[in-house]
Structures are given as C-alpha cells and as structure tokens.
Amino acid sequence: MSPAKRLRARMAETGLVHIMATHSPLSAILAEEAGFDGLWASGFELSALYGLSDMSLISMTQHLDMLRAIAGCATLPIVADIDTGYGNAINVVYAIREYERAGASAVVIEDKTFPKVTSLAAGGRQELLRIEEFQGKIEAAVATRRDPNFLVIARTEALIAGLGEADALQRAKAYVGAGADMILIHSKLKNPSEIENFSRAWTQSVPLVIVPNAYPDLDAERVKTLGNIRMMIYGNYGIRAATTCMQETFRRIIADGGVQNVHKDILPVEEIFRLQKMHEIRAAEARFLR
Ligand code: SPV
Ligand code: MG
C-alpha cells in the first residue's frame, strides 16, 4: 500500500490523524518513533533551520532535497507544505510532479500571493489570490498527480487576512469545486473560536485540516466534538522544542565554563548512535570489510 493510501486509510479508520512537523530526517525519525500518523514537511521549520524567515526565501529545490532525505529515513506519509506552489498554476504542475516523485503523499497549497509572509506574524502582509486563479492552481494539482490517493489540500488564509468567516467559507467551497480533497483552515487568534465556528458552519463533505499553533487549547478531544476535522498538523513544535533545548544547553555551557553539568541532562551519545542505525553499519562492516 502506498504511503498516500495508508494516510487515507488511517484517516478513515481513526477519524483524526496527527501529523508532526519535521525539519530534518532526525526529527522525522523521532516523530515516527513517538507514534504520529504522518509528517509535515513544514516551510516554517525548514526556514527556521536555515535561520531565515518563512517568507518564500527557501527554494523548492531546498525543500525537495530535505523532503527526499526525510522520505529516505522515515516510512510515515509526508504532507508537504508547498506554500503558494512556487508561482502560478504552471509552477504548480511542475511542483506536484516533483513532490510526488520525491515521496510526498499530500501537498498543502495556500491561497496567498507569492512571495508569502508567514501567517502568524503580527501585522504581516497577507494578500490573497483571486478565487478563480487559486482554483486554477488546485485544478492543476489534481490533474497532475499520478497516484489518485495523493491528497491535494487547499489552504485558505482568509481568516489570517482578516476577511472573516463568510469569505473563508466562500473560498473553501470554491476550492472544493476545483477538486480539493481537504480544506486547511488557519487562524492566528489566540483562542480557537474562529476555527470552531468555521467547522460548525462547514456543510461540505470534504473534511478539514487544522494547525493549532496559535490556539493550542484545541486538543484532539475537543476537535472530535466538532465533527468535520480529520487532520491535525502540529506546525512548529519540532523546531520550537529543539530550539528550547539547544538554547538552554548552550547558555548553561557558557555559564558553567564547560560541559561538566549539562552532559547529565541530555541524551547520551549511544542514543544518537541508535537513531543513526549504527548497528546496521557495524553488521555491514563485519560482513563486507576484509
Ligand atoms: C508551517 O509549519 O510552515 C505552516 C504552519 O505553514 S504556520 O507556520 O502556522 O503557518
Ligand atoms: Mg508553512
């Protein structure tokens, strides 16, 4: 069964899949071991990894290279965050070909103009495409995919742009009309009211995806009571968790004048060897090195 088919099957079986943001093969391995249903090849996380803002500065090639590396180390389905699709509908055709070939099981394309500004930034410039133009991009993605199980997820940034629920619903319905398999509805409010209201007002059969970054109180139990949401993406938790630990550890080493204290509080190197699958290398050495 292809990873894309597995993702659809898991969604049908459990009613709600949990997708963890990754920025590297190592973070993907950790997400897989922790028990997530899939991986989010996050634009925000990869941008942060390069020390850059999430504003269309990372190229498609950089994102694809990382996605390929992740796909080489993890078996979970990968949902690729392709931002605005790197241009117009023609760029989307090329992107879908490349992402499917690289090992993605789904893409999320958002209805902002290129270059985009990250959604959660206070006062960020949030310009949306005309609905018809974005429909063309969704149609291009659907027409290009080879595996019919590959998910094309349309993300509307109407709430992020401050347009309100009626506009968000109008856009989301138009994207369903263009063939989207799911709708990602995003909000930057610090509480889940916009998402809960949108979800209750959503009457289409196409299910919803959310990214509860700004409103972390909306947990899986609460999501299940809303009915329409089938996918939760934990959008920036990998890079924030890694940064929390590195920041604290690095500061302590400077303050302590050495690593004599921190070494007890971080993983032993043997755990990194395990994640690197050193045992496989040792076995290959024993077998092939003469
Ligand atoms: C990402 O993780 O890149 C996302 C989610 O798109 S957010 O940063 O909240 O827009
Ligand atoms: Mg993103």
Copy the structure tokens of residue 151: 């998910």
Helix (H) or strand (E) holding 123: none
Domains and CATH numbers, the chain: 3-238 (3.20.20.60), 243-288 (no CATH)
To test the pocket of ligand 1, the residue of 45, 78, 81, 218 to mutate (highest count of ligand atoms within 8 Å of its CB) is 81
What pLDDT sits at residue 268? 98
Cβ atoms within 10 Å of 244's Cβ, excluding its own: 10
- What's the CA angle centered on 186, arms 181 and 191, to 5 degrees? 135
84 in ligand 1 pocket by Cβ < 6 Å?
Answer: no
Pick from 47, 56, 63, 211 the residue to mutate for probing ligand 1's pocket: most ligand atoms within 8 Å of its CB.
211
Gyration radius from the chain CA atoms:
20
pLDDT tens track, the chain, 290 positions: 999 999 999 999 999 999 999 999 999 999 999 999 999 999 999 999 999 999 999 999 999 999 999 999 999 999 999 999 999 999 999 999 999 999 999 999 999 999 999 999 888 889 999 999 999 999 999 999 999 999 999 999 999 999 999 999 999 999 999 999 999 999 999 999 999 999 999 999 999 999 999 999 999 999 999 989 999 999 999 999 999 999 999 999 999 999 999 999 999 999 999 999 999 999 999 999 99
- Is residue 21 in contact with ligand 1, taking CB distance under 6 Å? yes
Please tell me the number of the ligand nearest to residue 211's CA: 1
* Residue 275 Ramachandran class (φ > 0 left, ψ -120 to 50 alpha, else beta): alpha
- Report CA(42)–ligand 1 centroid distance (Å): 6
Closest CA to 200 of 216, 185, 211, 221: 185
CA separation for the pair 175, 142 (Å, rounded): 11
Determine which one of 54, 81, 83, 111 is catalytic: 54
CA–centroid distance, 260 to ligand 1, in Å, is 37
Beta carbon of 27 within 6 Å of any ligand 1 atom: no
Annotate 50-87 with three-state secondary structure: CCCCCCCCCCHHHHHHHHHHHHHHCCCCEEEECCCCCC
Q: Which residues contact 221 (CB under 8 A, 6 or more apart)?
A: none
Token pair for residue 227?
């009915």
- CB of 99 within 6 A of ligand 1: the answer is no
Read off the tokens for 184: 């990602």
| pLDDT for position 124 | 86
Examine the residue annotation and report whether 54 is marked as an active-site residue of this protein. yes
